[in-house]
């Protein structure tokens, strides 16, 4: 056999092997692609089908949470509010973490945030924008309106304890809620000048596991309604005079419709008053 014929035969054999090899690789790739698609399809179904209806207890604002707190976002698998209120705290349907202070008093772990205000009221009047910053530039009437609407929202969601309502704290209740709050954990301008509010819960809580009971925004109180002013307590982000941050100090607004970017509020859950 001539050498040229030998090389031609070898080339022909190599070509057949190469084609056979490529055919097998193509089949393997098709099989792998099919398996990958099936696996990804299963994962996609799993990621959307089995999500729990109950919201995580962690408050979405800062990751802090009251022990045994649970909120809801759907009527499916909704926890029983009668059971939730037996614990030290819970997160309501509007994602507001409530801490039990006594059998008849729960308090917002944080000042009402802009995200929560927007969710309930459908607007955000704040000067210092940030979902997890306290709502600011609200009046006493605005805060009262929020509490009333929040009560309705939570009642419709079956997340309102029977016989209770959301409200502003009285001054006596606020003094209880402020307990143990250290001025070093208050968002103020005492040590360095600030230009606006800070994310709620950015500093340490007080002895009741409540945040920003001093500083960040002045908090409206319920009483007195029979005066031409409204009382706020706790100091704010721009407070730079020591006496103004003292627990006993009171700030007075120019009536129930006065709005300033140092005004905010915190909700409490208390026995409903006769209307």
Shared domain check, 139 and 169: yes
Provide mean pLDDT across the span 223-235: 95
Shared domain check, 264 and 194: yes
Provide mean pLDDT across the span 135-150: 98
143's enclosing H/E stretch is helix 140-156
Shared domain check, 246 and 212: yes
Query: Is the separation of the CB atoms in 217 and 233 below 8 Å?
Result: no
| 232: CB partners within 8 A, 6+ apart | 218, 219, 220, 221, 250, 251, 252, 253, 263
Give the tokens for residue 236. 């704010």
Between vectors from CA 108 to CA 246 and to CA 79, what angle results, nearest 5°? 165
Alpha carbon of 120 to those of 21, 70, 135, 145, 149: distances in Å?
66, 19, 12, 10, 7
Q: What percent of the chain has pLDDT over 70?
A: 72
Shared domain check, 237 and 111: yes
Place of tokens 């399809």: 41
3-state secondary structure 55-81: ECCCCCCCCCCCCCCCEECCCCCCCCH
Q: Domain with 197 in it: what CATH number?
A: 3.90.1580.10
Provide mean pLDDT across the span 207-220: 98
Shared domain check, 255 and 239: yes
For the entire predicted model, the pTM comes to: 0.75
Shared domain check, 250 and 265: yes
DSSP string, 91-130: E-TTS-EEEEEETTEEEESSPPBHHHHHHHHS----SS--
Give the tokens for residue 245. 């941050």
More confident call, 71 vs 270: 270
Shared domain check, 107 and 21: no
Shared domain check, 263 and 230: yes
pLDDT digits 0-9 by tens, 104-127: 999 999 999 999 999 999 999 999
Structural domain containing residue 254: 54-271
Give the total number of structural domains in the chain. Answer: 2
pLDDT of residue 274: 67
Give the tokens for residue 270. 């208390």
Query: Is the separation of the CB atoms in 174 and 206 below 8 Å?
Result: no
């Amino acid at each position: 056999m001539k050498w040229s014929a030998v090389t031609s035969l070898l080339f022909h054999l190599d070509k057949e092997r190469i084609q056979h090899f490529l055919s097998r690789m193509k089949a393997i790739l098709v099989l792998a692609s099919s398996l990958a698609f099936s696996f990804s399809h299963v994962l996609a179904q799993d990621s959307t089908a089995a999500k729990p209806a109950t919201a995580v207890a962690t408050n979405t604002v800062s990751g802090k949470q009251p022990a045994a707190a649970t909120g809801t976002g759907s009527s499916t698998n909704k926890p029983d509010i009668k059971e939730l209120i037996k614990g030290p705290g819970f997160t309501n349907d509007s994602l507001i973490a409530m801490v039990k202070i006594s059998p008849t008093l729960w308090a917002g772990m944080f000042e009402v945030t802009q995200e929560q205000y927007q969710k309930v009221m459908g607007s955000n009047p704040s000067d210092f924008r940030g979902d997890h910053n306290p709502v600011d530039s609200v009046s006493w009437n605005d805060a009262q309106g929020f509490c009333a609407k929040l009560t309705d929202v939570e009642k419709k969601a079956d997340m309102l304890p029977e016989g209770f309502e959301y409200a502003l704290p009285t001054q006596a209740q606020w003094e209880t809620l402020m307990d143990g709050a250290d001025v070093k954990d208050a968002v103020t301008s005492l040590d360095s000048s600030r230009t606006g509010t800070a994310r709620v819960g950015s500093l340490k809580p007080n002895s009741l596991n409540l945040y920003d009971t001093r500083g960040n925004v002045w908090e409206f109180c319920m009483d007195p309604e029979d005066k031409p002013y409204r009382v706020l307590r706790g100091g704010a982000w721009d407070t730079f005079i020591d006496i103004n941050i003292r627990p006993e100090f009171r700030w007075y607004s120019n009536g129930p419709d006065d709005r300033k970017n140092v005004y905010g509020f915190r909700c409490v859950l208390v026995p409903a008053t006769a209307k």
